[in-house]
Structure 1
Amino acid sequence: MRDGLDRVGVRRPIFAASSVARLLSGVAAAVAVLVIGFAHRPAVDAGGDDLVTADGEWLVIAASATLLMWIAGTIAHLGSMPLLPPFGRLFVVQLGASFANHVLPAGVGGMAVNMRFMRRLGMTRGAAAGAVGLNSLAGLVTHLILLVAVVAAAPSAATALAPRVHWSALGPSGPATTVIAAAGVFGVLGALTWLVSRLRRRARGHRSKTTSHLARDLRQLRAVLRHPGRAAALWGGSVSAPLLHTVILYAVLQSLGNLIPLGTVLLVYVVVSAACALLPAPGVVGSLDVALVAALATAGVPSTTALASVLGYRLITAWLPLLPTACVLVVLLRRRII
């Protein structure tokens, strides 16, 4: 009530600590949108200018594949969970998780959002962590299987992408090359630091768990894997993610007039994303962009078209959904869904 009185006449604070925390979380999300957009303003502007002349029908296909990508992620999470939440609510949670992934490195933000959602559903911390871990493991396994398949199908093309990457889109030498090299060094150091800290936290977490809770969580995960429908949802949703990313990049390339084969785009994306996943950058921003431009140029795409295509790919999959997904995350926090 407005005067701060509840129904039994006891005065309570109008602004509870939880309300303040949710408000601060919403403000932080809005600030993150502004910071990310400002930091990558040249890329956003350039990509927007290039997409003005692109084929709209292909861009609609790319946008539709982005929506299907979120649906596939929802299906994969349904397969990894020992319970069955409402599909629509879980889908909205994936929208909020996608924003968190662009703020925190290596998918940690999305994992945290999904764990909070599962905890709200009544799952234990161990069961929620196990479900998130199972989903991540399925994504890793399916990506590796897809990588092996495309490399086996085109070994010569895969070999050509790896040893020499010509940075024609960024200049063969000079400050750009120096910046890229420095970014690579710092990225590797950051990856090692992040990996060591995460292993330490995981070790402390394992020591704190009791044997009974661990056995119960393992039984729940084993039951999930033995369920045919959940297994199909988990593996099907996981393998769909890299395929849909490939469709998005292919559609953007087609919209700009480049007729590169779909198989080549699949090879480029799977190889580059597997390598860049080792760098824990927020949303793999930076390392994936530069590597995709270089790989597309090596595969025969003109450097300017490769750069515009990657910018368009980023606009559709990351920058344009950024503000809507941030708003979704704020609503989820305010309604205590997560």
Structure 2
Amino acid sequence: MTSPVKASVEAPTTVTPAEPTGPTADGPRAAPAERTAARRRRARWHAGVCLAVLLGVLYLARRHWATLESGAGRLAGADPGWLLLGATAAVGTWAASALAQQGAVLRRLPGPRLVAAQFAASAANHLLPAGLGAGAVNLRFLMRCGLPTARSASALAVKATAGGAVRLVLIALLAPACPGLLRLPHLTPAVLAAVPCALLLVAALPLTPWWPRCRRALTAVLADIRALHTGPARAAALWGGSLAFAALHALVLIAVTRAVAVPLPPLQVALLYLAASSAAALLPSPGGLGTLDAALAYALTATGTPAAAAASAVLGYRMLTVWLPLLPGLLVLGVLMRRKAL
């Protein structure tokens, strides 16, 4: 018979840890951490690009300070009637944006809140790069209206696609009416040699992990576009709002150029705005800050406009579309968030 004391002092049995049956660090639990790390890397990249762009803007502003000062003085004496017209057109851009957003979804959205969300989104867009501010505000608004996250993101993509297509069509229509106005800048041999190298580098990137997601997103956007075009009212709202948005922004610049006595025909100013804003969209600066200003100034001076007059036109356009509405837009954003409309 075994003694209880002897049984208690026997060597303990070595227990081998069991294989984990749930999600491990290499399983589903790692996915949120990987997505968070990827978002942080993208945020750092965007912040780096924005910082580089802003430093470039500050350098150019310091270098051309006398021109900016002269342009600001010329803007102070601008025609108030034309500036009032430009301000009215700037207000209309928010209604046009709301119309295009309504056309991008099948569900009926609350009209006043939709316009207020576009106003708030325009202010948030000037604080974050690459349209992230406006995209985040509109995404939250659509989700609060009952749309799923994927459907809300698809609606934003549909609206952006329509806006880009409208700009390209307008450029194609206005370019023959203004022959010789759009001229590409002079490219050095080094830049020309860098273009094919960059294309080869992009082609060599491992796109396999990203292609399924891009294909699913593209398929969803195309399906939404087809569904929207089954209803004439939705299609008219989408394309009409996108057209009005681009035309009203061009009208703001036309009114400002008239206010500061820039001798350019309205069609030429509209074409210059469309080309400059399309080029500025390639760099993810907050609200096009710096990139759009430089592109507009370059486009205006390339037509023979004096530098001071071009600076006053750019400053006036920014005053009406960014600086004056910025604080009220942020206040509306705070109200919408407090009322849980976002």
Shift of the 200–108 alpha-carbon distance from structure 1 to 2, 3 Å rule, reads farther
Distance 1:205 1:116, change over 3 A: farther
Distance 2:170 2:127 in 1: 27
Distance of 1:44 and 1:122 partners within structure 2? 47
In structure 2, C-alpha distance between the alignment counterparts of 1:298 and 1:253, rounded to whole Å: 15
Deviates more, 1:304-313 or 1:103-112: 103-112
Q: Which runs of 5+ in 2 are unaligned?
A: 1-53, 188-197
Please list the CA deviations of residues 239-292 of structure 1 after superposition, one character each: whole Å capped at 9, or x if unmatched. Answer: 122211111111111111223100110121111111111111111110110121
- CA contact under 8 A between 2:123 and 2:330: conserved in structure 1? yes
For residue 154 of structure 1, what is the aligned residue in structure 2?
A: 178
CA distance in 2, matches of 1:63, 1:139: 22
TM-score by length of 2: 0.70
CA drift of 1:203 comes to 6.1
Give the Cα separation in 2 of the matches to 1:273 and 1:89.
28
1:1-338 matches, within 5 Å, as 49-158=73-182, 161-164=183-186, 221-338=225-342
Residues 303/146 of structure 1: CA separation in 2 closer, same or farther (3 Å cut): same
In structure 2, give the amino acid aligned to 1:83: R
- Partner SS for 1:89: helix
* C-alpha contact 2:68 2:311 (8 A) present in aligned 1: no
AA of the residue aligned to 1:297: T
CA–CA separation in structure 1 for the residues paired with 2:326 and 2:68: 12
Asked whether the 8 Å contact 1:44–1:319 carries over to 2, the reply is: no
Identical columns (%): 40
**For the pair shown, which has the larger CA radius of gyration, 1 or 2?**
2
SS in 1 for 2:227: helix
Give, in angstroms, the shift of residue 202 of structure 1.
Answer: 6.9
Structure 1 distance, partners of 2:106, 2:232, is 13
2:139 and 2:156 in contact (8 A); partners too? yes
CA–CA separation in structure 1 for the residues paired with 2:308 and 2:231: 48
Shift in CA distance, 152/295, structure 1 to aligned 2, threshold 3 Å: same
- Alpha-carbon distance change, 94 to 272 in structure 1, aligned in 2, over 3 angstroms: same
> Please, what is the CA RMSD of the aligned residues?
3.2
Which whole-Å deviations, capped at 9, do the CAs of 1:23-69 have from their partners, x for residues lacking one?
xxxxxxxxxxxxx9xx8998998776443211100000000000111
Aligned positions, number:
266
Structure 1 gaps of 5+ residues are 1-35, 166-188
- The answer on whether the counterparts of 1:268 and 1:292 sit within 8 Å (CA) in structure 2 is yes
Distance 2:138 2:209 in 1: 19
TM-score, scaled relative to structure 1: 0.70
1:55-112 deviation digits (Å, cap 9, x = unpaired): 1000000000001111110110110011111211100000110011111112121111
